[in-house]
Amino acid sequence: MPVVRVPDEAGNTLTLLEVDGIYRATCNSVPDHESEVRSIPTWLARDDDVLVCAYPKSGTHWLWEVASMLMRNKAERIPGVKETAMLELIQQSRFDNLPSPRVVNTHAQYGQVPKDMLDRRCKILYMIRNPKDVSVSFYNHHLNLLDYEFTGAWENYLPRFLRGDVDCGSWFDYTLSWENFILQIPDYPILVIYYEDMKQLPLQQIERIASFLEVQCDDTFLQQVALLCDFNKMKEDREPLEDIDDWRGGKSTMYRKGMIGDWKNWFTVGQCDLFDRVYSERMKNSRTNIRFTP
């Protein structure tokens, strides 16, 4: 397994899996993880598959849970955690044996997902979050999940994030990849959802997702889904399922705050200026509408 330790300016390393030049999170529970990840584009889809796509720490758990409840037409907690249906963290045999309709999730760019899904025009739910909040959340994730073996400081982490020296690579490359896909195939069934809209108008956004998925349901059902998928309720129900031995101090922070604008508690003026300069250059031709303030 090509495990690499990627350093920052201070020499603090992040332990990652590198597959064909792309960094991934390591996963010791998947035999021959490298080969499984490399084979993902060849996996065979079903017409009713739903793919949840988001860069790490952008609400993947949240959106996967909402979509799973809608597709099952049951306002009840989904058995298992998000990782049990995440393309990069399961074997192909697991993917093949998931019951239909399959709701799977990924942090991969569009060219790294099963080609058969795209050929069949399987529905895609694509979540985008303010990358300043993403960077703060990702830093805490890397710091607290022991598999990363990371102890670096925030001031050295932000340049790492901006370069893309993290699992799943650059936020900019990821976001532009999916934006380019949408522009190239404008009639593809993909629904773009902004994290901030889901946070501020959850019922409205869940109704929008249900309509896109062609799920027939009433307002009472949608309200029940919204209540179960509230961040604090998910934190209460889901965090006890995490293996505490995987986390620093024996306490999971998979669900940390889930708030909008926490980046303001972390960024200095200089860091904000640096981020804004990089963002302006990398996203100068982008049509993605990021909201940096609530």
Helix, strand, coil percentages, rounded to 5, for the chain: 50, 15, 35
Q: Which two tokens stand for residue 228?
A: 């179960």
CA separation for the pair 247, 60 (Å, rounded): 19
CA separation for the pair 250, 23 (Å, rounded): 26
CA separation for the pair 171, 278 (Å, rounded): 12
Catalytic site positions: 107
CA dihedral 108, 110, 114, 120 (to 10 degrees): 140
CA 241 from chain centre, in angstroms, equals: 19
CA separation for the pair 94, 218 (Å, rounded): 33
CB 37 within 8 A of CB 159: no
CA 64 from chain centre, in angstroms, equals: 9
CA separation for the pair 187, 246 (Å, rounded): 42
The HSE-up count of residue 46 (CA atoms within 13 Å, CB side) is 13
Check residue 206 and give left, alpha or beta (phi > 0: left; psi -120 to 50: alpha). alpha
Q: Which two tokens stand for residue 234?
A: 């998910």
CA separation for the pair 87, 33 (Å, rounded): 11
**∠77-110-21 over CA atoms, to 5°?**
110
Point out which residues pair with 190 in neighbouring strands: 124
